[in-house]
Structure 1
Amino acid sequence: MTPGARNLITDVPGLKVGNAEDHSLKSGCTVVTADQPFIASVHVMGGAPGTRETDLLAPDKSVSEIDALLLSGGSAFGLDAASGVVDGLRAAGRGYPVGSARVPIVPAAILFDLLNGGDKGWEQTPYPTLGRTAFETAGADFAIGTAGAGTGALTAMLKGGLGSASLVLPDGTSVGALAAVNPLGAVTTPGDRHFYAAPFEIGDEFGGLGPDPNSGLGRNLTSRKSKAMFERGNTTIAVVATDAPLTKPECHRMAVAAHDGIARACIPAHSPGDGDLVFALSTGDPAQADAAENTPLIGHAAALCLSRAIARAVYEATPGPDDLLPCWKDLNA
């Protein structure tokens, strides 16, 4: 397995990603969409999720195809970004057909970035506009690091961010991951230099420093976050994708497997104060869904991509005014 041409989730054919952010707000959102509806599901393992329309993605629910997924900052306020995406889809004539009507369905997940030093004194929520902008600017190329839903993200020790990675399987199947990284835990080992995801790094996509040579890792849970943020202001939210023709239940299993990627890259993960969630989608032809024979390998590849995406988010973060935490590159120049 090797990374795709961009080493982004958009190496999965048909996918587009759009970012919108406000650096004075220190927040933003990220939209995953495509020209055609796609099958999707979700799995939540964090104890404090914030979501919209995720019940519809359960394998037994009636809606199987959707038009977009949203990752957003802003905590509960950020869920309003989905309304902006819905407006954009409606203007484009997209949505789930119900008789003569079309209803755009945009499942969404949010992270908490309300205490990160940004200006949160708005009178009218900015998130619907951010969501519409992210949808309308979606394409194959997009920024990672301090961008989109990761603009104001923080890990325990360093600035978080938005990350992405991809793999192409031996049979040509593409798998990719996108993550907004704002966990309770750390993404780097003590000393802020080595990434927990280092064993899965390909080339020097997040510095090429290799694994931490120290043993006994995982016992030091030091955090630079405030007590309130450490206990309540956390989450890693992600999307994994493939062009393999998966069914909705198979997408659910892909999401379950991909959570291993969070656990390998964030220490600790899936805590009561995290909202850890993974969406999984397939752009494959639903009529060919029975043709997917390598579902276990797809789930494994999704976990690998997600670990790498999480590390890339922190590695690519850039500094801004009034930051509460340093960037990895500032400490490891």
Structure 2
Amino acid sequence: MADTGHNLIIDVPGLRVGNADDASAATGVTVVVFDEPAVASLAIMGGGPGVRDTALLEPEMTVQTVDAIVLSGGSAFGLDAAGGAMSALARHGRGFEVGSARVPIVPQAVLFDLINGGSKPWAAGDGIPPYRALAEAAVENALAAQGAFPLGTHGAGFGATTVNLKGGLGSASARTPEGHWVGALVAVNAVGSAVIGDGPHFWAAPYERDGEFGGLGLPASIPAKALIPRFKGGPNENTTIAIVATDAALTKAQAKRLALAAHDGMARALRPAHALLDGDLIFAASTGRRPLGPSPYELSTLGLAAADVLARAIARGIHTATALPYAGSLPGWQAIFNTNNLKNI
């Protein structure tokens, strides 16, 4: 089936995306809000995740659906964001009913962006972290959203970095042969690199569509030095956090399988991925707008599509990101690999 849409996760019917960021602090929040409660699970492959309310996403747990999912900067300070998202959603009448109370279900993951040059006095005990307020704003932005949202240095990707280039917020989408939409949203704050060696080619190049991250393909050969691992900063300074979503109706166990399969996309697009002290993780959500067929290969096809769109989303997040305005900040891909520089590649 032909693809149409924005090439963003919002092509999956039944969800919206909102961003909010603090330029002075060089950090931000991204929230996916579901029009109706969505089935969701997750898979954590990194060794040092920062999460909130994710245990309930395991298939054996009682809660079956979520109202929103939050991705945030700020490391553990950023976990305040889920509370802000809950407050905003409750004002809109969303949440699990418990007597006269409503409790929005909002799992969250965070990435480390505390030492990227932004002003974060609250990380040294002076003042209040901005994440609760940012998440409230991101929810309101999602509910008011009309059409596409920006990628790169926005939302949860605002302060993100990789080993050699500015990281950022990425997204992509596709349709399976059965007609299901699959989309990915990712904040790329990787310990390694999304490009081969010193660039400009992306590891995700085989999966690119319509020149969405430069259209360069793969280089004629991959030099041995490009396969030597390179690591950014300290062991606790990295995490790539993502959401994959589909309109196929899934159970929580099937959503778990989708999240696991989607991790292949992270491994295709980043080298290395899933490092020991990273928090690399993927949420998977189903808006349930279309029935899933009886063949087990249909779920497998969803998993393959989820991996592909996540690989593409990671490259798009790097391709569109712009440098932070601080001395020593990592450059954006387009600032180095502009059209003139690529003529002889």
Query: TM-score band (shorter)?
Result: over 0.9
Q: How does 1:1-333 map to 2 (within 5 A)?
A: 3-122=3-122, 123-138=127-142, 139=145, 140-215=147-222, 219-223=227-231, 225-226=232-233, 228=234, 231-284=235-288, 294-322=298-326, 324-333=329-338
Shift of 1:219: 2.5
The whole-number CA distance in structure 1 between the counterparts of 2:197 and 2:289 is 45
User: Post-superposition shift, 1:25?
Assistant: 0.7
What is the deviation of 1:192? Answer: 2.2
Give the AA of the match of 1:179: V
Instruction: Give the whole-Å Cα distance in 2 for the aligned partners of 1:64 and 1:206.
Output: 36
Matches of 1:81 and 1:179 in 2, distance apart?
Answer: 17
Specify whether residues 19 and 291 from structure 1 end up closer, same or farther in structure 2 by C-alpha distance, changes over 3 A only. Answer: farther
Q: CA deviation at 1:14?
A: 1.3
Give the counterpart letter for 1:163 in structure 2. G
Q: After the TM superposition, which of the residue ranges 93-102 and 180-189 deviates more from structure 2? A: 93-102
Report the alpha carbon displacement of residue 273 of structure 1 after superposing the two structures with TM. 2.1
SS of 1:246 mapped into structure 2? coil
Partners of 1:273 and 1:246 in 2: CA distance: 31
**Which residue type is aligned with residue 17 of structure 2?**
V
Cα offset, 1:222, TM superposition = 3.4
CA deviation map 1:128-177 (0-9, x unaligned):
00000000001342111000000000011100000000001222210000
Deviation for aligned residue 1:289: 6.2
> Structure 1: how far apart are the matches of 2:304 and 2:185?
15
- The AA in structure 1 aligned to 2:230 is T
Once the two structures are superposed, what CA deviation does each residue of 1:16-46 show, in whole Å capped at 9, x if it has no partner? Answer: 0000001111100100012211110000000
Give the distance between the partners of 1:141 and 1:11, measured in 2 at CA: 9
Indicate conservation of the 8 Å contact 2:67/2:106, yes or no: yes
SS of the aligned residue for 2:227 comes to coil
Q: Deviations over 1:280-330 (max 9, x none)?
A: 0000159x5676861110010000000000000000001231062111001
Tell me the TM-score normalized by structure 1: 0.95
Indicate conservation of the 8 Å contact 1:246/1:292, yes or no: no
Q: CA deviation at 1:221?
A: 2.4
Summarize the Cα distance change of 1:141–1:213 in structure 2 as closer, same or farther, 3 Å threshold: same
Distance in 1 of aligned mates of 2:315 and 2:91? 36
**Distance in 2 of aligned mates of 1:244 and 1:292:** 13
CA contact (8 A) 1:244 1:292 kept: no
Distance of aligned partners of 1:199 and 1:72 in 2 relative to their CA distance in 1, 3 Å threshold: same
- Which consecutive residues of structure 2, in runs of 5 or more, have no partner in the other structure? 339-345
Distance (Å, rounded) in 1 between the aligned partners of 2:307 and 2:178: 18
Classify 1:307/1:3 alpha carbon distance in 2 versus 1 (closer, same or farther; 3 Å): farther
Instruction: Figure out how many residues of one structure are paired with residues of the other and give that number.
Output: 328
Quote the Cα distance in structure 2 between the aligned partners of 1:4 and 1:92.
31
The offset of 1:98, in angstroms, is 2.2
Separation in 2 of the partners of 1:2 and 1:186?
32
State which drifts further: 89-98 or 234-243.
89-98
Aligned-residue RMSD, C-alpha: 1.6
Decide whether the 8 Å contact of 2:183 with 2:244 is kept in 1: yes
